[in-house]
Amino acid sequence: MPCQRNQNRSAAETRPVTIERHYTRMTPGSVLIQAGMTTVLCTASVEESLPPWMKGQDRGWVTAEYSMLPGSTAPRKSRDRGGKIDGRTTEIQRLIGRSLRAVIDLDALGPRTITVDCDVLQADGGTRTLSITGGFIALVDAVAAIAGRPDHALPIFRASVAAISLGLVDGELLLDLDYSEDSRAQVDTNVVMTGAGEFVEIQGTAEGRPFTLAQLEAQLALARRGIDHLTERQRVALGDQWPF
């Protein structure tokens, strides 16, 4: 019997997605993105300098930071203090940074740093994947605001990027898991893909029982459907700023 999902979604249906650009005014890229009850604020800040380890280079750098605010979960999540970041946070912000760098030409960016901050306001599953999807929109707006790039005629984005979660829940393959589904999934997978259908990263984990190659292939095919939908939402949200 098919799983009864929140919001009466089908197994292959994403949560409703809303995107609001220019949500704050202090950074050139600012996006409030929501999927179901998961809400993330993504901001992109530009610095006309490079990290010390890149001193003297002509190419740029894109990095990311991720945080779950104390009120994003129940019970309350303790605030990170004194520079101490837990392992999960470190892993997620590295994933976000890798995903965004995969689709941008750092040489065309020039010697500057863009930091994409992803702050989870409310968590109900899929916070890392939604951060990537929203972070890309914030990154596009930040790049559009930069004056004096080395070569304005050189395309800076190679592709768009978005991410989606999915998994096997009670033996059924479901797309875009919320927390109630993720917490009981036998297989939990996050897929990062470009809008052109290329894979950036696949994170798949079995809980208690291995999964087959056929099940993996089914997950990747379903992920592609979800990414296609999210890419279209990104395109509509960016409008004239869509870089392709």
pTM: 0.94
Query: Stretch 108-119: mean pLDDT, rounded?
Result: 96
pLDDT digits (tens, 9 = 90+) for 9-36: 999 999 999 999 999 999 999 999 999 9
pLDDT computed for residue 19 by the predictor: 98
pLDDT computed for residue 36 by the predictor: 96
The strand order across the sheet containing 61-68 reads 17-21, 29-35, 38-47, 113-122, 61-68
pLDDT digits (tens, 9 = 90+) for 46-101: 999 999 999 999 999 999 999 999 889 888 988 877 667 888 899 999 999 999 99
Q: How far is CA 229 from CA 66, 133, 195, 225, 239, in A?
A: 24, 11, 10, 6, 16
pLDDT computed for residue 84 by the predictor: 72
Query: Stretch 202-206: mean pLDDT, rounded?
Result: 95
Q: Domains of the chain (ranges plus CATH)?
A: 15-75+88-241 (3.30.230.70)
Cβ-contact 202, 96 below 8 angstroms: no
> Checking phi first, is residue 159 left (phi over 0); if not, alpha (psi -120 to 50) or beta?
beta
pLDDT digits (tens, 9 = 90+) for 141-179: 999 999 766 555 568 999 999 999 999 999 999 999 999
pLDDT computed for residue 155 by the predictor: 83
pLDDT computed for residue 71 by the predictor: 87
Separation between Cα atoms, residue 127 and residue 45, nearest integer Å: 20
Least confident of 73-77, 223-227, 232-236: 73-77
Query: Stretch 1-15: mean pLDDT, rounded?
Result: 82
